Amino acid sequence: MAEWREKLSAEERDTLRRTAMPDWTAPMLATLTKKRFSSPDWIYERKLDGERCLAFRSGKKTRLLSRNQRDLRDTYPELVDALDTRVPSGIIVDGEIVAFDGNVTSFSRLQQRIGLTDPEQARTSGVKVYLYLFDLLHLDGYDVTGLPLRTRKSLLRRCVDFGGPLRYTAHRNESGEDYHAAACKKGWEGVIAKRADSAYVHHRSTDWLKFKCVNQQELVIGGYTDPQGSRIGFGALLLGYYEDDELCYAGKVGTGFDDELLERLGEKLESLERQGCPFAQAPENAGKGTHWVTPKLVGEIAFTEWTSDNRLRHPRFLGLRRDKPARKVVREEPA
């Protein structure tokens, strides 16, 4: 790869910055939109439902970090092995860790790996994981985030030996609307539209847009209700999001749990119990049988729509997220 700079245009070479590899760099985030469009100036990638990560290869050392800088080495040791052998030193790559249920990425299935911190237990869990790489941030002593996206993806494909659990995130050109329609028919979460000549920035941007097939977002757990009948653990979770530094109530979710998750999550909730309601306004009908918790846990929730009074309709719990701090959870509004 020593000759990669010579193959760039003069304009592209001007965007390169010689720099030491950073210990951390924030990932670029996409903006939700209701618009669907096709354009030769954009590319379209499959939206993967997993755990976002950045991989740092320096010397013989590999670091695999979530978007809130959690060390993922022990949870996904086979991915670290693949990065050690298939990715050159002096590189930062961006991607998504996924598990599959059939041909569809499943965050619920990935949950069985997310909670593991013992490498051997992770390897023998029976949940196969893959790392889909879609961007390149640092290469051979240079910050390459100023290069156009198409160029970064071309370099990524050339410098990584894709195979095993390492996968290249392919894209389509121009046909955004058709790709979105096909994605929804296949049961995918959606499509990410990316401006083809865009630089990589370390914040949310409208140069990356989410075309979703289903409504899904992170929400903070602020309380729970007692279980009824033969149910164990808890009955429903009380959910919210932050707005102007206040936790706003968004409704309850009582589906999407099996007995193992009810028991395990119920123990976590008990350890976080507190006296006062964490929501800016106490939920309606919150009385006997309602327990408040310190709002630290974040859940991934699927739902059909937001109601006119800012409540979730038909919510379903998909799993706990550990890659986003609770205080960063806001209601995701389409651009």
Q: Which pLDDT belongs to residue 41?
A: 97
The verdict on residue 99 lying in a domain is yes
Does 245 or 285 have the greater pLDDT score? 245
Q: In this predicted model, what pLDDT tens digit does every residue of 78-106 receive, in sequence order?
A: 999 999 999 999 999 999 999 999 989 99
Task: Please indicate, yes or no, whether residues 131 and 221 belong to a single structural domain of this protein.
Answer: no
CA dihedral 305, 132, 156, 165 (to 10 degrees): 180
- C-alpha closest to that of 330 among 188, 218, 205: 218
- Indicate whether 127 and 229 sit together in one domain: no
Q: Which pLDDT belongs to residue 273? A: 97
* Three-class SS state of 192: strand
| Residue 236 within any structural domain of the chain | yes
Residue pLDDT, tens place only, 92-149: 999 999 999 998 999 989 999 998 999 999 999 999 999 999 999 999 999 999 999 9
Contact 62, 83 (CB under 8 A): yes
Of the three residues 166, 182, 212, the one that is the final residue of a domain is 212
Q: Does 333 fall in a domain?
A: no
- 234 has pLDDT over 90: yes
Provide the domain limits for residue 48: 4-212
Please tell me whether residues 276 and 201 are part of one structural domain: no
Q: In sequence order, which ranges of 3-86 are alpha helices (DSSP H)?
A: 10-13, 77-86
Give per-residue burial for 76-108: e unless 16+ CB within 10 Å, then b: bbbbbebbeeebeebbbbbbbbbbeeeeebbbb
Domain count, the chain: 2
- Per the annotation, the verdict on 47 as an active-site residue is yes
| Residue 334 belongs to a domain | no
Query: What mean pLDDT is predicted for residues 156-185?
Result: 95
Are 185 and 148 in the same domain? yes
Is 335 inside a domain boundary? no
Q: Are residues 230 and 183 part of one domain?
A: no
Q: Which residues pair with 190 in a beta bridge?
A: 47, 212
Tell me the CA distances in angstroms from 288 to 220, 224, 226, 239, 317, one per residue in order: 22, 11, 9, 18, 23
CA–CA distance, 326 with 221 (Å, rounded to integer): 9
Please give the pLDDT value at position 214.
85
Going from the C-alpha of 60 to that of each of 86, 167, 322, the distances in angstroms are 12, 21, 27
Q: Are residues 185 and 231 in the same domain?
A: no
Q: What is the pTM of this model?
A: 0.86
53 C-beta neighbours (distance < 10 Å), count: 23
Q: Out of 212, 247, 265, pick the residue that ends a domain.
A: 212
Q: What is the pLDDT of residue 85?
A: 96
Q: What is the pLDDT of residue 1?
A: 61
Kindly state the percentage of the chain with pLDDT values over 70: 99
Q: Distances in Å between the alpha carbon of 330 and those of 195, 244, 247, 250?
A: 25, 10, 9, 11
pLDDT at 110 (0 to 100): 95
pLDDT at 44: 98
Shared domain check, 13 and 151: yes
What percent of the chain has a predicted confidence (pLDDT) above 90?
90
Task: Tell whether the model's pLDDT for residue 184 goes beyond 90.
Answer: yes
CATH number of 75's domain: 3.30.470.30
Mean per-residue pLDDT, 298-321? 94
Note whether 105 and 45 are same-domain residues: yes
Same domain for 121 and 24: yes
- Specify whether 81 is located in the same domain as 153: yes
Q: Can you spell out the DSSP letters for 148-214?
A: -HHHHHHHHHHHS--BTTEEE--EEEE-HHHHHHHHHHTT--EEEEEETTPPP-SSEEEEEEEEESS
The overall average pLDDT reported for the chain is: 95
- The pLDDT of residue 2: 63
The residue from 186, 212, 238 where one domain ends is 212
CATH of the domain at 299: 2.40.50.140
Q: What is the DSSP letter of 117?
A: -
Q: Tell me 30's DSSP state.
A: E
Answer whether residue 9 is part of any domain: yes
Work out the pLDDT band at 324, boundaries 50, 70, 90. Answer: confident
Note whether 25 and 201 are within 8 A (CB).
no
288, pLDDT greater than 90: no
Q: Give tens-digit pLDDT for 192-232.
A: 999 999 999 999 999 999 999 989 999 999 999 999 998 99
Measure CA of the first residue to CA of the last residue in the chain; give whole Å. 39
Indicate if 91 and 231 belong to the same structural domain: no
Single out the catalytic residue among 34, 35, 47, 128: 47
Check whether residue 9 and residue 150 sit in a common domain: yes
